[in-house]
Structure formats: structure tokens, C-alpha cells
Amino acid sequence: MSDLHEELRDNVRMLGECLGQTIAKHRGQDFLDRIESIRQLSKSGRSDTDSDHSELLAALSSLSEDEVLPVARAFTQFLNLANIAEEHHKARQHTEFCNLDSDESYAQLVKQLSAQGIPSEQIINTLVQMDVDLVLTAHPTEVNRRTLIQKYDAITDCLRVLDRDESQYHRLQELISQVWHTNEIRKIRPTPLDEAKWGFTVIENSLWEAVPKFLKHLDSQTRALLKQPLPLHCAPVRFSSWMGGDRDGNPNVTSTITREVLNLSRWMAADLYLRDIDALRAELSMHQCSAALRERVGDEAEPYRAILGELRDQLKVTQRWLEADLNQQPHDTQCPISLSEQLLEPLLLCHQSLLDCGMDIIAEGPLEDTIRRVACFGVTLTKLDIRQSSDRHAQVFEELSQFYGLGSYSAWTEEGRQAFLIKELQSQRPLIPHHWTPSDEVQEVLDTCRVVAQADPASLGSYVISMAGQPSDVLSVILLLKEMGITHNMRVVPLFETLADLDNARSCIDSLLSLPWYKQYTQGHQEVMIGYSDSSKDAGQLAAVWGQYRAQEALTALCQQHQTRLTLFHGRGGTVGRGGGPSHTAILAQPPGSVDRSIRVTEQGEMIRFKFGIPDLAVRSLELYAGAVLKASLAPAPAPLDHWRDAMDTLAAAGLQSYRGIVREDPQFVPYFRAVTPEQELTKLPLGSRPAKRKASGGVESLRAIPWIFAWTQIRLMLPAWLGSDTALQGAAAQNKLALLQEMYSQWPFFASYVDMLEMVLAKTDTSISAYYESRLVSEELKVLGSSLRARRDSAIEMVLKIKDQQQLLNAHPNIRQSIEVRNPYIDPLHFLQAELLHRDRNQPDQRLEQALMVTMAGISAGMRNTG
């Protein structure tokens, strides 16, 4: 292991030297020396606990306006290169040690389950039945442009080649020079179509290779340990997407965009399969085949190439059909390949023929890889979810009720709405009148439902309703889809986001499942989405995580009573403040019974690249997901003891009061937040296609959870992740309950996961940095609040150390601590530069410095990793 860490240091040093040589060549050695001097001052400032960073600040203040941007770019690109080296190091670790029985390995898990008396048949059946759906979303936390990501991927490829002792130094120098001469910041926001294409690129460049590798490893382990193969049709992990379907608060996602993305996804799938088929035709040149294959192809001398040639031709026609549909040109009414079975049938025929003829080793090669890809990706690559806010659907029925003279839909009781919707759902006549001109917003909702109704059911995931709170929110969507002509029962999923909605989730679903018509519609399967981002923003992290846990417990018990299978959809973000953290730990911390072979989880922003951007890392991430769901399904953690539950009720109530007491009730809070963070300037950073606010005129309450957390991360206070936890934990300790907290930490996975995530985010905070922002940007009368918040952060750290009985944060995770420490000397100059640039921008706006300000945001984001 020490050799691997030395290799990481060597890679970071080498990439840094390449960047330094590029800078020296194009800016001069003197400029590079200044950057090195700034880095050394930053490093020494960190090592000296009494340092006030005065020398570093003096060096930064001496920069001319023409030097500020290249200095910011230099430190930003070093952090990006360090990230590349670290991700490559993780992939290398996985390759080196994948055969060892680590606690998280699939092999070790199967041994543990077998030791607990769980039969092999039950383990394999559970694995086959598992449905882990990773939903790729385009939330604006990925600050890097797609062209830069491609260059970073190429740098990673160079590091792989270097591991084989092959020279790549010149190519590295070339790529890093390309990076240096490419603007980090987009000039315009990406469109939803751009975001969808980025998602397809992740699949093409990484997951297309990783998925069969993951399944092959799972198969070999299952054969060795359970004496059974993993069936070829088995794909425990699949992928869906929100890119091009998530229109909640994003006017740029239209019905036209959704239609284009659905077709592009299928076109991309056909294109990837075409490449596979061409490669297979080159390999499968054998003449011997089974009677079944011979009957299919006749006297062909190369039967496998013949049948694969037919499939290739069908795929090409499919692409042309999709292109015509995209361009709204005339085409045949039926797409040649629209079902996975149409792809699988000739592939499986070839596979069985090879087995029948004793060519097992050939059958198990690339042909099996393609078959397993079909099992995972189907013919649509991903399934597209649709998301829209409940008020947009209610607006449709408000305008309809006014048109028909039925009064105001919004004024009806919930019971009245349900009765009306159920009656219309059972009616044989249309509800939407022919001669009716709705508002543009309502027309867009109807157009979206029409696109969904006309789409191939295999290309669709769920229709998610944000800000859902009542059964009518769900029934209204089903009725709109019916009116637009949908032919299958699409999953319509309420998203419970606020703490109040989470507490009401059981009542809402109980009312729905008690409706005979709706119960029949579900066909025995109910999906519910749990919102992490907005519940944390609404109630604070502590109250939110407990509200999420209790909602899942209640929904699990309720669906069992209704004899309905429940799938929980976790809207987790990249940060702790939005439900982020190690996925396997989070899954194992869920209430017992809530993960019963199925789970959906959002993967978003930069976390998609960090988890799935490199094939070897993607394989590891898929293994962790599959293993965690298998364990949570077969050997879940026990339910919490009653006194633990009572303690959490008390902690959550105290945390909620403390959090809202600051965020909602302190009149100084909003002015302080707006002054000390770059929240207002973030709108200038063209991160994603979605606006930063749901309402352009709204205040903090309308700010999306992503920029809310992004802003606090930029100044290293990370307030949303710990505010409220500090006073709640302190209060428990003051009541002599520290021993109880320690007991909960050691014996309850849910509480342990919460404390560990709190520890990780606190380790990334730095009150000297946030204090500097305050000194430059905040008026005197608001500084009292800042001082109080920093003191509360210190109290939170003190409580975590007491609960974990340790002297410093991240004792058990020295690699994470070292990663933070190594990055700090490169992030610190960006923080100080950003504070100065914010001060200048607010007092004497200068467009020349605006680019530098945005680069500092990107650099800090790169250094902090899970930023939004």
C-alpha cells in the first residue's frame, strides 16, 4: 500500500511539473516563480498556527490586474490535476487489491451471508431479482466544461500507460498545454440537450466498458462461492436519467427537448451496439455452428458473421429511422429495433451455438459482454424520468374548471379534487375540449404529457412530482397522461421534500392505496421519492435525516399492510448537506425492510464523473452498490431501540429549532449570507441549464439547495451540513447523555453514518478562511453573527470528537485527512483572491476581473470536491 501512495505522490508531482513548464513557457519563469512563492507562503501559513496569512495576502495584493486571472487559473488547474491523479490512484488500488477479501468486497459479503445461515439459493435469487436504478442528473455542480473533461480523461489514459512503464511524458505535456490554453469557464450556459449528451458521453467512455466487466466479476465470484452462474439476463444495476426530463423550475426543458433526448438516447444506444456488432463480426469467423443457427442462415460459410450482419443492417436502419423522427421527416411507422428481445435473440442464438459446439471460451468473450450490455442498457441506453412541480399540474385543472364553469379547482377540498379526478379517470369521454386555448404554461404541460404518451414505454422511467403533498397531486398526473393517450400504467411518483411533507408521506400514500382504482393502477408496486436537498435546507441536516428515516419506516410498514411492493427513490446530492456521502454506507443505514431488492438513487453533477468517469472506478462503484443492496435486503440492520428513537426525537427537535432560529428567524442572517458568500455572483457562473432560483424575485427561501450549499462551501463554513447539530448534541451532553450518544454511534448504523458524515464535512471547514471573507465583505453590525456561527462550528467539532472518543477529526480516515491537507495550500490563495475580487466587484465592477472571480469558484469547487 505504501508503494501505491508513493506512486500517487509521484503522479501529482509529475503533473504539477508539466503544468509548471507550460506556465513558464507561456508566461515566463519569473511568473512561475511568483506562483511557487505564493504556494510556499500558503503552505507555511498552514504550518504556523499563529500565522495571520499576512505575507500571503501581501503577495496576492501585489498582483497586477493582468496577473490575477492567470494566477487563479494556475492554482485551479493544479487542483484539477491533483483530482485526476487521485482518481487514477483509487482505480489502481481497486485493480491491485480487488481479489482481496476487504470488508466491502462482494466475496466477503457472500461469506458473511452464508455464515448467517442464508442459503445459496436465496442469495442468488435475491441478486437476480435486484433492481438498483442509478439516475443520472444534470444538476449544476459540474463546473468543468465537457471539452476539458475530455482532456482530463486523456490525461488519465496517459497515467495508465505510465503504469506499464511506457513513456507518455510528451503526450502529458501536450495535453496539459491544451488545458492551459482552454478557458475553464463556459461563455454560455449548457442547454438541456448538451447536458444529456454529456450523460451519454459518460456511458460511452466509461460505463459501456465497466458494466460487462462488473457483471463478469460478479459472475466469477458467484460461480466460485455459490456454485451457480449469474444468468446472462441479470443486471442488478441499471441506469436512468433526468437530463432532458427534469423540468421542475427549468423553463429550458420543453416537450421538444424531451422528445429529442428520447430519440438521441436510442440513437446513441444503436450506435454503440453497431460498434460492438462490427467487432464481433471481425472475431466470430468460425464455420461450425448449431443446427438452430444453420437453419436460420442456410448455407452461409460464416454463419455467425451472417446473422450478425443482418443485425447490423437492422441497427443502421434504426438509426436512420430515429434521425428522420428527430428531423420530423416522413418515415416508416414502425422502428426496426424497438425491443431488447430483438437485439438479444440473434446474440443468444450465436452464444448457444458456440456452447453447443464446444467453443465455450469464445462464447464467454466479447459476445457475452454485448449480451450483458443489452441486459443493462436495453435499446434505449437509459430510461428517462419526467419531473414537474405539482403546482403546474394543478394549474391545468384550474384553467379547465374555469373553462367548464365548475368553479375554482384550487379552492376545492382535497376530497373534492380526488372525487373529480377518480370520476374522470373512470370516464370513457375525453376531458380536454377541442376548442380550448389554455395558457402557454398549461399548453407546455399538455405537450409534455403527449410526448410521454407517444414514447416507447421502454424508454421511460418514472413521472416524478416535486412538492407533492396530497393524493390529488398523483391522480392529476395519471389523468393528464390518460387524456394524452398513454397506453401503459407509467409509474407516477410523489416527491416528499419538506419536513412537513415527509411527516405527511404515510398519510398521503395510505389515502392513495385505499382508493380501489388507484390500487389497481399500481399493479402491486408503489414508488416514493424522498427529497434530501430541500428537506435539509428546510429543517437542517439533523432534523432532515431523522425525518427521512421515519418517513421510510412508516412507508415500509404501510406498503406491507397494503400488500404492495415499495421502491424508495433517494434524491441524494453530492454533499452531506444534500444527503451525499459514501453510497454503500448510506444504504446500509436505511431502516430495516426499506431496501427490499430495489432502490433508486440520484447521481449528479461532478459526482457522476468521480464515481463513474473511469471504468475501473465505475466497476468499484457498481460493486459497492450491488453489495450494499444485497446485504440490506438479506441482512438488514436491526430496528433502533426505543431509547435511541426517543433520543433522536429530542435531538431532531432541538436541531430544528436551532437551525430555523438562525436561518428563518434571525433578521441578520439573510443579509449576512448575501454579504459573506458569493451567492449572488454564482448566477454569473454558467454551470447548468437550470436557473439558480425557482423564482427570479425570490429570496433565500426560493434559492435552490445546490447554490445554497455551493455558496457556503466557497467560504469553507459548510453551514447547512452542521447548523443545528451543534446545539442539539451539546444539549444532550449537558443532560449527561454523552454515553448514550456513544452507544448509538457504536451500535446503530444510521446514527454512525450521520456522525461520520458530520465529521467529514467539519474537517473541510476552515473558520480562518470564512473570517477573512467576513473581514472584507461584511458590515460591522453583521460581524457578531459571523463570530457566533464560527464558535458554533467549533462546538460541533468538539461534540463529534467526544462522541467518537478521539483527539482529531478523521482519525479513522487518514487518507481523506491527508487529501484535504495536501489541497489546502492550493485552495487558500483562491479563497483570498476570491474575497478580494468579490470586494472589488461589489464596489467597482470590472468585467476584466469577473472571469478571474468565476475561475476562483471553479478552483475552490475542484479542491473541495463534493461542492453542491
Q: Which residues are catalytic?
A: 139, 537
Beta bridge partners of 179: none
Cα angle 58, 62, 63 (rounded to 5 degrees) comes to: 125
Query: To 5 degrees, how large is the angle CA 592–CA 518–CA 526?
Result: 25
Contact indicator for 227, 726 with CB cutoff of 8 Å: no
**Count of residues in the chain:** 868
Partners of 567 in the beta sheet? Answer: 527
State how far the Cα of 147 lies from the Cα of 142, in Å rounded to an integer: 13
Could you identify the residue written with the cell 479513522?
A: 812
d(CA 737, CA 744): 11
Angle subtended by helix axes 471-483 and 499-513, to nearest 10 = 60
**How many other CB atoms sit within 10 Å of the CB of residue 178?**
16
Asked if residue 473 lies in contact with residue 511, where contact means CB atoms within 8 angstroms, the answer is: no
C-alpha closest to that of 686 among 196, 243, 187, 247: 187
Q: What are phi and psi of 540, to 5 degrees?
A: 90, 155
CA distance 199 to 243: 8
Grid cell for residue 640? 433502533
Give the relative orientation of helices 541-561 and 642-663 as an angle to the nearest 10 degrees.
Answer: 130
Mapped onto helix, strand or coil, the DSSP state of residue 527 is strand
End-to-end CA distance of the chain: 32
464 Cβ contact list (under 8 Å, min separation 6):
385, 386, 387, 388, 493, 495, 529, 569
**How many alpha carbons fall within 13 Å on the CB side of residue 200?**
22
Our CA angle for 843, 27, 862, nearest 5°, is 60
Cα 65 to Cα 849: distance, rounded to the nearest angstrom: 7
The three-point CA angle 84-86-91 to 5° equals 95
* DSSP assignments along 788-830, one per residue: HHHHHHHHHHHHHHHHHT-SSTTTT-HHHHHHHHHHHHHHHHH
- How many Å apart are CA 430 and CA 432, to the nearest integer? 6
Q: Report yes or no: 44 and 829 within 8 Å, Cβ to Cβ.
A: no
Q: How far is residue 622's CA from residue 160's CA, in Å, rounded to a whole number?
A: 21
Output DSSP code: residue 189: P
